């Protein structure tokens, strides 16, 4: 797999080479395998206009933009790429994403530059992973016909994407009440729950509001702590430990996910159970991850890309997709370190989920 820490291959080339050399390399890297093949942009427009399927041998430029390097989003990128490879073999076409991958590393200026680069490259579609990425890519393609397919946008309507003509994708919306029920099931009589999240993350807004409503309804106090960087998240986690909470909830928050490897041991040492909105948190040490299957999310995103490029569909033809929540992922190492009986924990969780998976901490996963 490519190095996911790269900000942008094209930006790197621009910094390293003269503009003319970069242009030459771009033309070489993006050309068709056989001479005389119509350009992918022209083919895409033709296919969309006619509603016909793509012809064997066609090549499509697929921009893939990752918001930040962390487990959930990396899973999506890998899943999108592997699914596109499989679809390409089935249909006899090529999805060239390797030349158009970029990781913004949670930097808005990077996102802006990446969007401009991809539009200048004439990509046929942009896959935008996470809400900030999708918003920036949608702005970048405003005066073009390039569609945007997002993945892991928690609330497309709140983000302003629902109803936009040139964007569609997949949502990882979280059933917050279900995960709060897991906390209560494992801790009968719990009177205080910590909330750990980044105030600037749109993906956390609704889930945190739902968590507060759940706690108010059930007479549970909340202690809120926030962070926008890993260092701030570490301090926030320490503050929750100092406050004496025994369980902490985090939604599908990119900032906390990125910092999970830096905080999970502190929570274990303090006897704090961390319940989170994605299985990848559990892979990085949190006790429980709950939510959608990010591999499935990536595959569905790739299927939408294929429908746009190969089947003549438009974003308006493809409403955004949501997925059934209900998969609980337990980090067995963390649960055991917290002194919990795994069999009893699974039994307590059964009424609130459709599936229970077990993982151990994989520090090279993020």
In a domain, 366, yes or no: no
User: Residue 12: what pLDDT?
Assistant: 38
Same structural domain for residues 52 and 89?
yes
What pLDDT is attached to residue 363? 64
Does residue 145 sit in the same domain as residue 204?
no
**Cα 70 from Cα 364, distance rounded (Å):** 10
Domain assignment present for residue 3? The answer is no
Residues 214 and 261 in one domain: yes
Same domain, 157 and 207: no
- Do 211 and 352 lie in one domain? The reply is yes
Total domain count for the chain? 2
Give the 3-state secondary structure of 83-152. Answer: HHHHHHHHHCCEEECHHHEEECCCCHHHHHHHHHHHHHHCCCEEEEECHHHHHHHHHHCCCCCCCEEEEC
**What CATH number is given to the structural domain containing 246?**
3.40.50.2300
pTM metric for this prediction: 0.72
In-domain check, residue 306: yes
Does residue 364 belong to any structural domain of this protein?
no
Contacts of 241 (CB under 8 A, 6+ apart): 266, 267, 270, 272
Strand-pair category, 247-250 with 192-197: parallel
Residue 1, domain member (yes or no): no
The pLDDT, as a whole number, for residue 52 is 55
pLDDT given at position 361 = 93
Task: Let me know whether 237 and 338 are in one domain.
Answer: yes
The reported pLDDT for the residue numbered 53 is: 64
- 327 forms bridges with which residues in the sheet? 291, 355
149 with 266, same domain? no
Give the residue numbers spanning the domain of 199. Answer: 176-291+326-359
Residue 240 within any structural domain of the chain: yes
Residues 236 and 148 in one domain: no
- In the chain (366 residues long), the average pLDDT of successive 10-residue segments reads 43 37 31 32 41 78 95 93 98 98 97 98 98 97 97 92 94 93 98 96 89 98 97 98 98 93 98 94 96 91 98 96 89 98 97 93 64
Residue 308 lies in a domain: yes
| Sign (positive or negative) of CA dihedral 182, 255, 128, 75 | negative
Shared domain for 287 and 298, answered yes or no, is no
- 19 shares a domain with 102: yes
């Amino acid at each position: 797999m490519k190095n996911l820490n790269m900000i942008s291959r094209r930006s790197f080339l621009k910094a390293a080479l003269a503009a003319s050399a970069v242009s030459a390399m771009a033309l070489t890297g993006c050309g068709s395998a056989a001479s005389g093949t119509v350009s992918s942009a022209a083919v895409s427009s033709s296919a969309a206009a006619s509603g016909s399927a793509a012809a064997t041998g066609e090549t499509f430029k697929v921009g893939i933009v990752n918001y930040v390097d962390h487990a959930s989003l990396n899973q999506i990128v890998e899943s999108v790429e592997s699914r596109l490879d499989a679809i390409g073999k089935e249909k006899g076409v090529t999805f060239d994403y390797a030349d158009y991958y970029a990781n913004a590393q949670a930097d808005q200026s990077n996102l802006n530059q990446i969007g401009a680069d991809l539009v200048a490259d004439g990509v046929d579609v942009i896959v935008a992973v996470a809400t900030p990425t999708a918003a920036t890519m949608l702005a970048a393609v405003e005066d073009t016909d390039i569609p945007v397919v997002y993945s892991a946008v928690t609330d497309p309507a709140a983000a302003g994407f629902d109803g936009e003509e040139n964007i569609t994708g997949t949502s990882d919306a979280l059933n917050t009440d279900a995960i709060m029920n897991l906390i209560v099931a494992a801790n009968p009589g719990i009177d205080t729950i910590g909330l750990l999240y980044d105030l600037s993350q749109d993906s956390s807004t609704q889930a945190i509001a739902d968590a507060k409503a759940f706690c108010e309804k059930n007479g549970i106090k909340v202690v809120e702590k926030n962070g926008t960087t890993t260092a701030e998240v570490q301090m926030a986690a320490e503050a929750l430990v100092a406050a004496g909470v025994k369980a902490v909830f985090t939604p599908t928050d990119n900032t906390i996910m990125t910092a999970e490897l830096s905080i999970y041991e502190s929570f274990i040492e303090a006897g704090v159970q961390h319940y989170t909105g994605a299985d990848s948190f559990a892979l990085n040490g949190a006790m429980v991850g709950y939510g959608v299957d990010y591999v499935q999310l990536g595959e569905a995103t790739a299927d939408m890309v294929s429908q746009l490029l190969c089947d003549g569909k438009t974003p308006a033809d493809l409403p955004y997709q949501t997925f059934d929540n209900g998969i609980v992922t337990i980090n067995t190492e963390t649960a055991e370190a917290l002194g919990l009986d795994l069999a009893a924990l699974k039994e307590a969780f059964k009424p609130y989920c459709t599936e229970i998976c077990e993982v151990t901490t994989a520090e090279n996963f993020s």
